[in-house]
Chain A
Amino acid sequence: MTTVINANVSSQKSWFKWVRDNLFSSVAGTIQTFAFAALVVVVLRWLLGVAFAEKNDWTAVATNMRLLVSYNYPLSQFIRIWVAAGVLLVCAAASLGAWRFDPALTVKRMARTFYSVAVVAALCALLMPSSAPGVLVRTLWLVSTVLAIAGFAASAVASKRNNLTVSFGALLTSSVVGLLAILWFVPFGNYGVVGGSPFANPGDTVARSTKEPWTVIFTLVLFTFWASRALGTKTVAIVRSALLAFWLVGPAFLIFVVLRDPAFDWQRVWAVDVPLAAGFAFGGGLLVYLLAKPTRSSLARLVGVALSAFAILNWVAGFFGWYGMLQKVRISMLLLAILVLILPAFAGSQSKRLRIAVAWGGFILVLHWLITAINTPSTLVISAPPFLGGFTLTFAISYYVVLASFPLGVLLALARTSDLPLFRMMSTAYIEVFRGVPLITILFLFTVMLPLFLPRGMAVSDLAAVFAGYSIFSAAYLAENVRGGLQSVRQGQYEAANALGLTVFQRTLLIVLPQGLRVSIPNLVGQGIATLKETSLIAIIGGFDLLRIANSTIPNQPQFLGQKRPGLLFIAMVYFILAYTMSKSSQRLERRLDAGRM
């Protein structure tokens, strides 16, 4: 808080005094100012020169925008991508509204932002190389002037009423309307590829097939935001839990929507997958419900041992090929056995038993759906190069890796902090080995060597191998982050849990993990950012991610031979925007968590 107050005080000083105090306070300060000003000018000039050199053809990026977003995705099926993106954005807006997201945006701060952007734009316009398009320079000057005037107006208003703030809703609405206006009226030029040959209409606005879906999505975003904000306290609780559930599995489902084969085999799903899932959900739920009675704990142990013996037998049999069985039956059987084994720790009243049973059922349904989604001959059948690529691939890989490495990482962290020496040793060895070697060797290891390790007749696609290797690698780092959080849980918490007579499972699940994970959230977000950035290594393995497209696909097109710079700068910008937004929001979160702590 103190920094905010200081900032307010300092901005109240006059302009002149500010310049004197901050830039020319002493001889050394003056020298520093000039040296850094020169550095800024040189670096900016060089960067602009690199970006807008004569030989750079930025239409290479504009024309290949579809490639960069979704690679070879067929145009006829493109509606799925729009739906997926739309649902994601709408749910994000709904979440913002439902959780009453409303940061205090003071007009004063906005004025400062306007001023600094205006200064940067003017600097860029001044230092633009002569080869840059004139319209760009003119636009920069225009933006700079408009923002300077807006900043002046804002600070004039703010000087009268000191604590004037702008609500987030107003800001969102105005920026969405502004974006739509830009989309419909600014002639960016209309570029694209039709039937393999690129076309360019420089004076035109963006293609209708782009701006219409965006208009619909943005309108819905605004609508859901305001609607979810207007909800009453009772309904908002329901909406919040629905949204939480969506964020847990929604993206995976949307990725499935995008990837599903148009000729999807629904018959097999109804005949095999649905009955299996229902059987496990209800049968397992019933079993769990019956065995979770405190008086039946010894029976539960017995059943658990029997079930796990059977489950292990299934896996061994699968490995040696004694008898066939669907993989998901094996997995669910093993999970059920583990649950029944630890069930006595959770035994309790009837409502509790019911809750456990329902949780199991829901979990099994989601799990079975996920396994089905992964295993269906999903990816659209396209001749020639793999169709999954571009931003979609980057997003899908980083999402699934974070999702998969989280439970594994938490398990490893628990093992590393446990007082059982062999578990500690194994988990330490795992973590140190995977943290000691670079990701690229792990990715090579999995793509090149996995076929060697697998039994005969079993094959894994390259993408699945990358995904598995990356998740296993990422889990080691995640475990270290979680361990930091777990170690911050005070000893008294353990002692209190023991004094209450909680079992080890209960203590871990109910006392230690919630507190430890809360502390490690900022680090986990950092881990997520690192995961997103490092998906670029897929380009080395041969996946068509953003980097591969910018660095080798576009420069190999006959129209844009050797045009690497625009593509690389563009994807650098994309990565920057994503990572920067994430890190800023994680810093906000950190401050909020800090404020909540005693």
Chain B
Amino acid sequence: MHQRPPIWRNVAVLKWLAQFAVLFTVLGLFWLLASEAQENLQRRGIPAGYNWLSGPANFQLGEGIQTVDSPERRLTMSRALWVGMVNTLRVAAIGIVLSTILGVFIGVSRLSKNFIANRFASAFVETMRNIPLLVQILFWFVILGSLAPLAADSGPIPGWLIVSQKGISIPRVFLADGFYQFVAMLVVFAVPLWFIRRTLKRRQDDLGGNQRVTSTTVAYLSVSTLVAWFLNPVMGFLGGVLDSVATAWNAIPAQIIRGLFGVLIIWFAGARIRSLLNSRRTPVGFAKLTDNDWFQMLFTAFAAGVAALVVVRFRPGITTWFVESVGNFWSFLGAKFGDGRGAQPIDAMLPTLTEGRFINISNTGLTMSVFFASLLFGLVFYTSSYIAEVVRGGILAVPRGQSEAALALGFTRGQMLRKVVLPQAFRVIMPPLGNQYLNITKNTSLGIAVGFSEIVQVGQTVYNKNSQTLAVFSIYIAFFLLCSLSISAVVNTINRRLAIVER
């Protein structure tokens, strides 16, 4: 039994001391900066906090779900920022879809044996990824800006596809009133499908031969879609159910939820400590805990205690906010259902031109403004070159023996691709692909260079108006972190499902 070293030479103590020293230095620095900022703000007469969010915006937006202030629909600051966020998400979503399609096409072409195809794909990739995105966006802006002005007979296909300086217009397909009921009905229909597929797959495994799993699924789905399309008002009763769920939720006193949160935090910390203790259990008994282990347990317990106290005692607003938003969510869902809503799930409208001296495009169609289009084109072409490389790398990462083995087993080329190569390539492709999706979302912020009203541009307009830089930047950071967290959550889920199950 060796002697314990004195406390000032104990490595565990020193390590933790150093860590806490750095942590407190960093926190202290933050505190210093924050207090300095607060003082500076006060001196300039800028109120702290977020109260300005509910004030009127006093400016117009370029485009989005709401652009101007009107008596029936006020454009508050928060509403303007929300419009910016929706614009960002719109560009990001469309960009993700288009650049995936283009990127996969280019990536596969680059692997093609055809000389012209792979040279074209290589040239595309090298050109697009070596020219800065911002240069590309501005290039598209210049190109689209020199399109022909809008006229009564504009467009490659007048009435359907109109390309002009005002933007690119296509027919608008939108979710009509019956959509939510339609989706609910499809979900109901999906339950038997799951059982049918399971039975058929089992039979396929037992008996062999073709038990028509795919064709049965397709037939079932098309029939149920058809039925749901016409019979969806049946699901109207869900509205009442959801409303009563909302009432029931709101009836729970906030104290109970608050207590539950506290218990949850403590329980979580307890689980961590227990798992640590379990990891120290050996077949012969409990291992001696090191000082480091004690520190870790103490720190976990301390942090959990602080968090629980904050939630329960010092910041009751967190729980109240949570309770309110969940309740609102239920009643929001309830309003989406309900009797008497139109039966049609999806509807469409053609783009039309306004009459008068200055021809304009009315918003019956879906119009992509020049700003939107140049940002989108830049993003899609730039990112698809990266996605192409990701796809190519993923396919090349599948060992050649796999495809040879599949062919030797008598798979057709299509089966080989679908069942052997692509699933394995997908595993390699997915994580970097998720990264590219994140990049698209972040790069929408370059829309500011062409004056597209995305979140950063709207935020800039806001803080130029009211000097609330600190608050606006906190909103930026929260928004983009939320986006990246949700994208990486989706990618991680898919990844986990695709991962090879190790025996």
Q: Does A145 contact B (CB under 8 A)?
A: no
The answer to whether A583 and B15 have CB atoms under 8 Å apart is no
User: Beyond A423-B19, A423-B22, A575-B130, is A32–B112 a contact (Cβ under 8 Å)?
Assistant: yes
Q: Which residue of the partner chain, among A36, A420, A547, A564, contacts B132 with CB atoms under 8 Å? A: A547
User: Beyond A23-B116, A33-B116, A422-B23, is A571–B135 a contact (Cβ under 8 Å)?
Assistant: yes
The answer to whether A436 and B484 have CB atoms under 8 Å apart is yes
Q: Does B448 contact A (CB under 8 A)?
A: yes
The answer to whether A438 and B36 have CB atoms under 8 Å apart is no
Q: Mark B454-487, 1 if CB is under 8 A from A, else 0.
A: 0010001001000001100100110011001100
Q: Does B120 contact A (CB under 8 A)?
A: yes
Q: Does A437 contact B (CB under 8 A)?
A: yes
User: Residue on B with the closest CB to A555?
Assistant: B142
Q: Does B391 contact A (CB under 8 A)?
A: no
Query: Residues of A contacting B189 with CB < 8 Å?
Result: none
Please measure, in the bound complex, the distance between the C-alpha atom of A534 and the C-alpha atom of B127, giving whole angstroms.
16
Q: Does B114 contact A (CB under 8 A)?
A: yes
Query: Residues of A contacting B132 with CB < 8 Å?
Result: 533-534, 536, 547, 575
Q: Mark A18-55, 1 if CB is under 8 A from B, else 0.
A: 00001101000100110011011000000000100000
The answer to whether A453 and B36 have CB atoms under 8 Å apart is yes
Surface stretch bound by B, among A98-106, A366-374, A442-450: A442-450
The answer to whether B473 and A449 have CB atoms under 8 Å apart is yes
Please measure, in the bound complex, the distance between the C-alpha atom of A29 and the C-alpha atom of B116, giving whole angstroms.
10
Query: Residues of B contacting A568 with CB < 8 Å?
Result: 135, 138-139, 142
Q: Does B40 contact A (CB under 8 A)?
A: yes
Chain B contact-residue range equals 35 or more
User: Residue on B with the closest CB to A540?
Assistant: B449
The answer to whether B456 and A438 have CB atoms under 8 Å apart is yes
Surface stretch bound by A, among B230-238, B360-368, B439-447: B439-447
The answer to whether B114 and A433 have CB atoms under 8 Å apart is no
User: Beyond A32-B117, A319-B32, A547-B134, is A572–B139 a contact (Cβ under 8 Å)?
Assistant: yes
Q: Does A286 contact B (CB under 8 A)?
A: no
The answer to whether A536 and B135 have CB atoms under 8 Å apart is yes
Please measure, in the bound complex, the distance between the C-alpha atom of A158 and the C-alpha atom of B442, giving whole angstroms.
51
User: Beyond A36-B117, A37-B116, A452-B40, is A539–B134 a contact (Cβ under 8 Å)?
Assistant: yes
B492 CB to nearest chain A CB (Å): 14
Q: How many pairs of A and B residues are in contact by the CB < 8 Å rule?
A: 148
Please measure, in the bound complex, the distance between the C-alpha atom of A449 and the C-alpha atom of B115, giving whole angstroms.
53
Question: Among residues 481 to 503 in chain B, which have CB atoms less than 8 Å away from a CB atom of chain A?
Answer: 481, 484-485
User: Beyond A50-B143, A420-B15, A576-B130, is A440–B445 a contact (Cβ under 8 Å)?
Assistant: yes
Please measure, in the bound complex, the distance between the C-alpha atom of A40 and the C-alpha atom of B485, giving whole angstroms.
40
The answer to whether B473 and A441 have CB atoms under 8 Å apart is yes
Q: Which residue of the partner chain, among B26, B37, B131, B481, contacts A572 with CB atoms under 8 Å? A: B131
User: Residue on B with the closest CB to A116?
Assistant: B119
User: Residue on B with the closest CB to A422?
Assistant: B19
Question: Among residues 282 to 302 in chain B, which have CB atoms less than 8 Å away from a CB atom of chain A?
Answer: 296, 299
Q: Mark A503-534, 1 if CB is under 8 A from B, else 0.
A: 00000000000000000000000000100011
User: Beyond A441-B456, A539-B449, is A454–B36 a contact (Cβ under 8 Å)?
Assistant: yes
Please measure, in the bound complex, the distance between the C-alpha atom of A237 and the C-alpha atom of B304, giving whole angstroms.
59
Query: Residues of A contacting B114 with CB < 8 Å?
Result: 22-23, 29, 32-33, 36
User: Beyond A22-B113, A452-B41, is A441–B480 a contact (Cβ under 8 Å)?
Assistant: yes
Q: Which residue of the partner chain, among B32, B109, B113, B481, contacts A437 with CB atoms under 8 Å? A: B481
User: Residue on A with the closest CB to B299?
Assistant: A421
Q: Does B218 contact A (CB under 8 A)?
A: no
Q: Does B404 contact A (CB under 8 A)?
A: no
Q: Does A381 contact B (CB under 8 A)?
A: no
A466 CB to nearest chain B CB (Å): 15
The answer to whether A448 and B469 have CB atoms under 8 Å apart is yes
Q: Does B33 contact A (CB under 8 A)?
A: yes
User: Residue on A with the closest CB to B130?
Assistant: A579
User: Residue on B with the closest CB to A120?
Assistant: B123
Q: Does B20 contact A (CB under 8 A)?
A: yes
Query: Residues of A contacting B324 with CB < 8 Å?
Result: none
Q: Mark A323-336, 1 if CB is under 8 A from B, else 0.
A: 00000000000000
User: Residue on B with the closest CB to A573?
Assistant: B131
Q: Does B347 contact A (CB under 8 A)?
A: no
Q: Does A392 contact B (CB under 8 A)?
A: no
Please measure, in the bound complex, the distance between the C-alpha atom of A32 and the C-alpha atom of B117, giving whole angstroms.
7
Query: Residues of B contacting A319 with CB < 8 Å?
Result: 32
User: Residue on A with the closest CB to B121?
Assistant: A36
Query: Residues of A contacting B442 with CB < 8 Å?
Result: 436-439
Question: Among residues 133 to 189 in chain A, which have CB atoms less than 8 Å away from a CB atom of chain B?
Answer: none
Q: Does A229 contact B (CB under 8 A)?
A: no
Q: Does B133 contact A (CB under 8 A)?
A: yes
Q: Does A537 contact B (CB under 8 A)?
A: yes
Q: Does A309 contact B (CB under 8 A)?
A: no
Query: Residues of B contacting A283 with CB < 8 Å?
Result: none
User: Residue on B with the closest CB to A444?
Assistant: B460
* Interface contacts beyond A426-B26, A576-B130: sample of 11 additional A-B pairs, CB < 8 Å, sorted by A: A426-B22, A435-B484, A441-B480, A533-B130, A536-B135, A537-B134, A539-B134, A547-B132, A547-B134, A568-B138, A575-B132
Listed by A's residue number, 24 A-B pairs whose Cβ atoms lie within 8 Å are A23-B115, A33-B114, A36-B117, A420-B15, A422-B22, A423-B22, A426-B22, A436-B485, A437-B477, A437-B481, A438-B446, A440-B445, A440-B448, A441-B445, A452-B40, A452-B470, A536-B132, A536-B134, A540-B449, A568-B138, A571-B135, A575-B135, A579-B129, A580-B126
Task: Give 3 nearest A-B pairs by CB, closest first.
Answer: A422-B19, A579-B130, A533-B132
**B interface vs A, CB < 8 Å?**
15-16, 18-20, 22-23, 26, 32-33, 36-37, 40-41, 109, 112-117, 120, 126-127, 129-136, 138-139, 142-143, 296, 299, 442-443, 445-446, 448-449, 456, 460, 463, 469-470, 473, 476-477, 480-481, 484-485
**A interface vs B, CB < 8 Å?**
22-23, 25, 29, 32-33, 36-37, 39-40, 50, 319, 420-423, 426, 432-433, 435-441, 444-445, 448-449, 451-456, 529, 533-534, 536-537, 539-540, 547, 551, 564-565, 568-569, 571-572, 575-576, 579-580, 583
